Structures are given as structure tokens and as C-alpha cells.
Amino acid sequence: MKQDRTQLDRLTREFMEQHPGGCAVKVASRGQKIYYLATALLLLLLLKFRWDYFIFLVTGILMFWYAAAAFFRGGAALLSWFGRGEEMVSGEEATAIPAEELPVYTILLPLYHEANIAEKIVRNMERLDYPPEKLDIKLLLEADDEETRKALENAGIPPCCEVIVVPDAPPKTKPRACNFGLERARGEFCVIYDAEDAPEPDQLRKAVAVFRRDKSGKLLCVQAKLNYFNAKYNLLTRLFTVEYSTYFDLTLSGYSLFGLPLPLGGTSNHFRTSGLREVGGWDPFNVTEDCDLGLRIYERGYRTRLVNSTTYEEANSQLWNWMRQRSRWVKGFIQTHLVHYRNPLRTMKRLGVYGAFGGFLAVGGSALMMLTNLIFWAVLLLYAGLLLHGSAHGLGFFDQVVGPHSIGDGYRGIPLGSLHLRAWPLVYAGPGEDAFWSIFSQIFFAGSLIMLLANLIFIGIGVAACVKRKYYYLIPAALLMPLYWLLISLAAWKGFWQIFTKPFYWEKTVHGLTDHTQGDETPCKNEASL
């Protein structure tokens, strides 16, 4: 999809010029389009002439990558449980830094239609334990959002805050607004927060302490952890909180211990301002600009570390609002994968073989896992249905899975036109056995096994995350994570469709649907013990 450059602002044009092959304005390169089209045509030809081979090939590839992505996440979480993939800074160490030694810190706050939480935005910033005279807070407002500007004025904007109006131009995205803030940032360090964010008061101090520990000069980003203050509001917020606890308390720290690129969270990333400018800031066309930036930081030879500080956000409590947000995230993961893997050989040269493979599993593999999860649910349910149907007609479970039995048992399966679907033994080949359906049954079995193992992994790391964060009341929700992943798959297909229809459309997440009084977590507590 081409973008008329005459409509773009100066900063967006500069990013496109500096990253000619690494900007999401080009969703897929010419080479990628040729590759995917050729692959699709070959598969269609295979489907027409040998549909059995088509099924075996496609399911085999999908099973491999689904299993790889699932076990990769599980392995990262396991490594994190036994290791320490984050920087530990005590509250005492953070507060011990004299005020006069603290650098100027820029806070970027991109806002759009946030009038309903304007007072909360101001209060959350006032709670930060940092000298006000050394805070440089940029309130980034879109030109057509007069309502939010007036609400902020009524709430009382502190002197350390500067309102920056982002000119009206495409694309209207959060990363584009952040680039306007970065250009005017005065701080040695800068951080991005979302509108509803309530960071722990000493988070800026902890980030400064981590940057001070770095003697190599290669530490560019410090990622704080994200969690939710309204976990108890309903089942959806409980499941969302389990997911975030898993991702930020286990998975990301595991990636760090593996030495792999870290797909950053959308907020609470702390940067050396000079280094962030060096790598180009944010891609204004990428709807998961955080994930993209994490890969570019790794590509440039810089490092990202996690810190034991949490920013509390508002978990989506309404299903459709959650669906909009999640589909945007998956769309962005696909965008990021397409941008960074336009030329796999070049990617391996930039990231190294190890980094390229890990980045693929963390980004492209994650998106593929979300998309194919629905397929494996269908495989599992179909195979379970075949086994139940056979059992209802006198066949034992063991006999159906292992054997021996043959067509001579009198059971013909479920009629489907001229076909008869049934579960064949995996290892037995007896008289009258249909070789094709025997192999097909093995595929069903393998797909079902992978599905079950993957979901056991999701449940296991979800429970582990609840234990690590001492959210014991969320363990029952962790047991329901397979159903939550099914919802994620539905959102993933919505995001996949939008890659073709609305690749740069930023589906706005509505904030302020719940508040701190409706939740259970105190956003101002110190996380030194975690």
C-alpha cells in the first residue's frame, strides 16, 4: 500500500528516508509478495492434484512451528524461574540517590480522547518520587482532540508538563506522536507511559540506578514490568492479568537470559535519549512500535534489561474493547515480522543466526501460534469426536489409538459423502486398513497431542507467574488460559485480515472503564520484594 508523501509530516518522512527497507509503510516487499504468491499457487496446485499430500505438508509445517513457538515460550519461562533475568534495585538504593545527582528525565505521554481520565493522568504523574524541577513531561495531544486538552487544563497541569499538539497528518498513531515528543525531549533519559498508567513512585529512580550500573555504554533500554490494578473486576481482567504476569515476570526475563531480542512492552520503556534518537525513534506506521523498536535496538548492538518495578495499567474489562486492542497487537507483530524478515539472509547477518531465530520465534512465531491455535482446536475436537464415536460403537480407546483393529471389526466410522472418517491405530497395519486414513489419523493424533501439551505449558507458566507475583487468587483463572488463548486466536484472525484492509489503522483502546477502587492492586506500592 503506497502512502502519499506530500501528506506526511517532516519527522515521518525522515524516518522513511533513514529506514528505506525497515519501515512498515511498505507492508510487504516485492520479493515477499512474489514468494507468498508462488507458495500459495504451489499449494493450490497440490490441493487440486494431491489433496492428501497437501494436508500432510501444511499440517506438518504448522505443527512444527506451533510446537516450536509454544516450547520456546515455555523454555523461556522455565529459565526465568530458576534464573534472574532482571535487574534488582532495592527501594533503599533508589531513594539513596541524591536529588542533585538525578538527571533531567523526560516523560512522553501520548493521549487521544482521554478526557474522562484527565485528572487521573495528572495525579499519577504527581505521585512520582522525582524532583519536579528535573521532570520534563510531554503531553502529546492530537490536533483534533480539544476535549482532552480542556480536561487537562481543568485538572491543573503541573509546571513540569508541556502540552505538544501533534499536527494532523497520516498516520494517526501513537508512535508518530512519540516522535514529536522525542524531538523536544530535554532529559538525559526518557520514558513512555500510556494514559492510564500508574507507575510505582520510585520507578524513574530505579531506572537511573540500572543505567548507572552499565559500564559498557551498550545499555539503551530498561523495561519495567506491566500489570493491572483492576484484576478482580471480572473474568476477562483476571485472565488478562495472568497473561501479563506470565509475559513480564517470566517470558521476557527468559528472553533476556537467552540473550535474545526483547519485544518491548508498549509502555514503561526507559531509554537513553541520545541512543533512542540514534536508532531513529519509533516507526510511525507500525501499530506495535514497541516490538519493532526492541528488534532495532538489538540489531544496533545495544542491550535491553528488565528492572524490578511495575507499572499498573487498566486491564480491558469489555470483550469487544479487548478484541480491538488484541487484534491491533497481532497485526503489529505481523507487520514487524514482515519488516525485519524481508530478506532472511540479511536478517541473519544483522541479528546473527541465534538472534534472528529467536526473534522469529518471539515475534513471527508468536503471531503464527495465535493464528493456528484455532486450527489445532479444530483438529483436537475432530479427533476427540472420532474417538468418542468409535467408543460409542464398541471400540476401546486403546484399540483405536494403538490397535490392533481393522475394517473387519464392523465399524466403518462417520460417513462424509463417499468417505468414512474414523480413528485408525497409530502403529498397527492390518488387513483391510486404509493406508491414507491411517496416516491421516496419525496427523490428527500428533496435532491433538501438540495442542494439549501447548495448553498445559500455558497453564503451567500461568500458575507459576501467579505464584511468583503472589497473586494466588488468580490461580483458578490460570487454569482457564486455554479458553483465553482461543479468544486471542479470534482476535488474531481479525488482525490478520486488517493487514490487507487497514494496515496502519490504530484501533483506539478505550480507557477509564474501571478505576482503582474497582480493582485490588495498589499502584503505588514498591516492588522491591518481587
pLDDT in tens, 47-97: 989 888 888 889 889 999 999 999 999 999 999 998 888 999 999 999 999
Burial of 119 (0-12, 13-18, 19+ CB in 10 A): middle
Is position 437 within any domain? Answer: no
CATH of the domain at 164: 3.90.550.10
CA distance 437 to 420: 9
CA distance 304 to 20: 25
CA distance 488 to 333: 13
How many CB atoms are located within 10 Å of the residue 395 CB? 18
Own/partner contacts of 272-279, CB < 8 Å, gap of 24 or more, are: 272/188, 272/189, 272/211, 272/219, 272/220, 273/106, 273/182, 273/185, 273/187, 273/188, 273/189, 273/190, 274/188, 275/220, 275/302, 276/182, 276/190, 276/220, 277/182, 279/220
Range of 101's domain?
A: 80-371+507-518
**Which residues in the chain come in under a pLDDT of 70?**
1-4, 404-409, 428-435, 515-530
Is position 525 within any domain? Answer: no
Task: Please give the pLDDT value at position 3.
Answer: 61
Is position 14 within any domain? Answer: no
Per the structure, how many domains does the chain have? 1
Task: Please give the pLDDT value at position 530.
Answer: 43
Is position 16 within any domain? Answer: no
Is position 246 within any domain? Answer: yes
Task: Please give the pLDDT value at position 358.
Answer: 92
Burial of 241 (0-12, 13-18, 19+ CB in 10 A): buried
Beta strands in 391-524 (DSSP E): 414-416, 419-421
Q: Is the pTM of this model over 0.85?
A: yes
Cα angle, residue 142 at apex, residues 136 and 146 outer, rounded to 5°: 100
Is position 105 within any domain? Answer: yes
Residues 480 and 462 sit within 8 Å (Cβ to Cβ): no
Is position 32 within any domain? Answer: no
Cell of 456: 498445559
Task: Please give the pLDDT value at position 324.
Answer: 94
Closest alpha carbon to 331 in 157, 503, 181: 503
Helices (H), 261-340: 273-278, 289-299, 319-340
Task: Please give the pLDDT value at position 440.
Answer: 80
Is position 451 within any domain? Answer: no
Which residue in the block uniquely carries the three cell numbers 483458578?
476
